[in-house]
Amino acid sequence: MKQDVEITKIMILNYLKGYKRKNTGSFREYDKIYATTTENIDAYLNLSNFKDKDSALTVLASGDQAFSLASLGIKNITTFDINKLTEYYALGLKKSAILAFNYQEFLNYFNTLFSPNITLEKLSDMIKYLLPYMDLEYKLYWQEIIDYNYKLQKNRDNQVNLFHILFYSTAHGISKLKNSYLANEERYNYLRSIIGNINITYDCLDVFDIPYIYEKEYDFILLSNILDYATYYLGEHWTYQDLRKELDKFKKLLKSKGVIYIAYLIGKKIKGIDTFESPLILNSRLMDSDLTQEELLLIPHIENDKVANYIEDGIILERKL
């Protein structure tokens, strides 16, 4: 935890000094975090039947995938992410907000927290409010980070919202349409009633190492759009065969009738045009026509919490028989 605090402090300091982080095309052990999902999670989870299902393996990211799964009845959720800081945000801050707030309070809380106009004092107080709801390790982390951020910024003319320094995807608050746990108040209240008692674990892992490390079987595996950042592992211009080799290793982790959501394709289809934009994934040679064992399904693209009328998203998935 100490190292995680120290590195987060350096990230804040470097940002305020004006240092630009180099875009390496892949995520790292310490990186900016997605504050909210960019995917229409509710749409792709609705493609599956959740009756009698109880386990999932998912990227952690903003926590929205894990909380959506939990709100649909999944009680054993194994999360992984290459970025260690996702744990403090998703399982620290966001989980504690679910414990502390009702539906409307939760939405208002994050809209205010992400606002460019929030004062340094208000932001610090809002995070402090949640500390009693956090596990000790997360509480210590956030306490140190808000104290440091406050001291560093209190005499600055141009104060910057901490969530704009350390996070992506804060511009439109948390979407009700994309997240199953926010689709309606009943779903959120259900999540709130069980969140303290279900099993959500986290490991800092590279997705491509997972088949060598985990042995359990899952009903659902969610890989988000990690393949957009996979050239380091799959090579420049990777092909369907390169991907297939990796996917085959995941098969032993899926229960019978399990589903692996292989890749989320954001805004990859122009409405009214037959095909998806090719290649399907940046820096790959993956084409629509390659997908022989998988399905490629359309998902409504959500923008500012409304269905977009000019593009659509896609999900590549595979179901085990």
Which residues contact ligand SAM (rule: CB under 6 A)? 27, 31, 34, 37-39, 59, 61-62, 81-83, 86, 206-207, 224-226, 229, 264
SS3 content of the chain, % helix, strand, coil (to 5): 45, 20, 35
Nearer to ligand SAM, 4 or 81 (CB): 81
Query: The tokens of 7 are what?
Result: 């590195």
Question: Which 3 state secondary structure label does DSSP give 298?
Answer: strand
Nearer to ligand SAM, 153 or 238 (CB): 238
Shortest approach of ligand SAM to residue 129 CB, angstroms? 25
* Number of Cβ atoms within 10 Å of the Cβ of 287: 14
Shortest approach of ligand SAM to residue 159 CB, angstroms? 26
Nearer to ligand SAM, 120 or 253 (CB): 253
Nearer to ligand SAM, 109 or 229 (CB): 229
Shortest approach of ligand SAM to residue 147 CB, angstroms? 25
Nearer to ligand SAM, 59 or 120 (CB): 59
Nearer to ligand SAM, 38 or 78 (CB): 38
Shortest approach of ligand SAM to residue 300 CB, angstroms? 15
How far is the C-alpha of 267 from the C-alpha of 258, rounded, in Å?
26
Nearer to ligand SAM, 159 or 313 (CB): 313
Shortest approach of ligand SAM to residue 32 CB, angstroms? 9
Q: Which of 279, 276, 277, 167 is nearest to 231 (CA)?
A: 279
Q: Which of 154, 158, 148, 149 is nearest to 18 (CA)?
A: 158
Shortest approach of ligand SAM to residue 112 CB, angstroms? 21
Question: Which 3 state secondary structure label does DSSP give 33?
Answer: strand
Shortest approach of ligand SAM to residue 42 CB, angstroms? 12
How would you label 233-270 residue by residue, b for 16+ Cβ within 10 Å and e otherwise?
bbeeebbbebbeebbeebeebbeeebbbbbbbbeebbe
Q: Do the beta carbons of residue 29 and residue 83 sit within 8 Å?
A: yes
**How is 248-292 classified by DSSP, letter by letter?**
HHHGGGEEEEEEEEEEEEEEEEETT-SSPPSSSSTTB---GGG-S
Shortest approach of ligand SAM to residue 157 CB, angstroms? 32
Cis link prior to 279 (omega < 30° from 0)? yes
Nearer to ligand SAM, 120 or 313 (CB): 313
Residues 6+ apart with CB under 8 A from 305: 172, 173, 175, 176, 177, 178
How far is the C-alpha of 312 from the C-alpha of 267, rounded, in Å?
5
How far is the C-alpha of 295 from the C-alpha of 297, rounded, in Å?
6
